[in-house]
Structure 1
Amino acid sequence: MENIQHLKVDKEPQATLSMDPMKFILWLFVVSIIMLFASQTSAYLVRRAEGNWLEFEMPKIFWYSTGVLLVSSLAMQTAYFAAKKDDFRLLKIAISITFVLGLTFLWMQFEGWKQLVAMNVYFVGNPSGSFFYVFTGLHGFHIISGIIVLIYAWIAVFKQKVHAKNLRQIQICATYWHFLDLLWLYLFVFLLTFN
């Protein structure tokens, strides 16, 4: 019995790899969105190759909305950097600008749809128009989800729960927002190239 008490462990247990559960969920969500849009763009290319494809010029408002989304991403990154430096004034301004620009992007997408209808490009009819509405609509839905994430971060910012020692919420928000920006850039270039 005494021998058992004097036993020494030569090896320390190895640390297990761990990840923040919320960040893990975010990355699962991002991967599922990538798979969704990859399947949709593949279907687009296959259907386009079959013929009976209406070509139309993308309304200019989609160009402008792309610029709005890029600026919103810069504002989001500014908010993140401000949080790291505990610059609460800049943090509040930058995250508020991101929120307003996100809503502006959605409004511009809706206006783009109205312009498509004026050009006789409808959701039902030629598959080229259907795909365009599906792509922009799905992305718009994900922008709405991004705005919801942004609202939670915005509330935390104004309650001063986001700061240099607690960046988790702003990191998740920034990661998702930048992903949505990159996703739109991919869709925008894809639709310009293959329309």
Structure 2
Amino acid sequence: MEKELKYIDIVEQPISMHPKKFALWLFMVTVVMLFAAWTSAYIVRQAEGNWLDYDLPEIFWLTSGIVVLSSITLQWAYFSAKKDNFVQLRLGMVLTVILGISFLIGQWYSWIALVDRDVFFVGNPAGSFLYVLTGMHGLHLISGLIFLIIVLISSFQFKVHSKAMVPMEMLTTYWHFLGGLWLYLFLFLQLNH
């Protein structure tokens, strides 16, 4: 009898995820596959020769720092939302919007610096790859900024709080993903230009 009481049937919970979170993860996997394909093509094409040697714009260092800082401010906003601290939530999100826009402005100036160094979108494939990689990342960052602004507006309407975290969780996941993607691209370009 004593032995029978020790064993309790454990009901297994099915693995589940919010459908919107699942869709976001599928989208991010797709983006990873695209950038993996582009960076692989970069390496293959570079090995064929006729590759332009150039220095990366120094502003890439600054934009990398901005991306890291924006992840910190958004994470602060996320923690603030979990604590229902609406002032810090909104402040963190506003700072993240400012940093995200600053990143995009920095990327624009990096393209200007590339043109000044005679690295163009057309001509040598080295320049084409650089513009495609940074441009596609910038496009995804714009989508992240739109998502950020939508959640920011929701926070002012008290729709983001400890009991309604799904949009904030998705935003934080996507924003950190974009930051990590940029750091990967920056490191890749540093090692392979």
TM bucket (normalised to shorter chain) is over 0.9
Query: Which is greater in Rg?
Result: 1
1:69 aligned partner, one-letter code? V
Residue equivalent to 1:53: 51
Classify the secondary structure of the residue corresponding to 1:145.
Answer: helix
Residue equivalent to 1:176: 174
Classify the secondary structure of the residue corresponding to 1:125.
Answer: coil
Residue equivalent to 1:116: 114
Classify the secondary structure of the residue corresponding to 1:144.
Answer: helix
Return 5+ residue gaps in structure 1 as ranges.
1-10
Residue equivalent to 1:76: 74
Determine the C-alpha separation between the residues in 2 that align with 1:181 and 1:88. Answer: 24
Counterparts of 1:73-152 in structure 2 under 5 Å? 73-152=71-150
Q: Which runs of 4+ in 1 moved over 3 A?
A: 13-17
Determine the C-alpha separation between the residues in 2 that align with 1:97 and 1:24. Answer: 28
Residue equivalent to 2:25: 27
Counterparts of 1:5-16 in structure 2 under 5 Å? 15-16=13-14
Return 5+ residue gaps in structure 2 as ranges.
1-8
Determine the C-alpha separation between the residues in 2 that align with 1:105 and 1:72. Answer: 9
Classify the secondary structure of the residue corresponding to 2:189.
Answer: helix
Determine the C-alpha separation between the residues in 2 that align with 1:187 and 1:87. Answer: 35
TM-score, normalised by the number of residues in structure 1: 0.92
Q: Give 1:55 shift.
A: 1.0
Q: Give 1:164 shift.
A: 1.1
Determine the C-alpha separation between the residues in 2 that align with 1:159 and 1:57. Answer: 47
Q: Give 1:14 shift.
A: 6.4
Residue equivalent to 1:162: 160
Paired-residue identity, %: 51
Determine the C-alpha separation between the residues in 1 that align with 2:51 and 2:191. Answer: 14
Provide, for residues 14-48 of structure 1, a one-character-per-residue CA deviation record: whole Å limited to 9, x for no partner: 65433211101100000000000000000000000
TM-score, normalised by the number of residues in structure 2: 0.92
Q: Give 1:151 shift.
A: 1.2
Classify the secondary structure of the residue corresponding to 2:49.
Answer: coil
2:38 aligned partner, one-letter code? Q
Number of residue pairs matched by the alignment: 185
Residue equivalent to 2:36: 38
Over aligned residues, Cα RMSD in angstroms? 1.4
Q: Give 1:191 shift.
A: 0.1
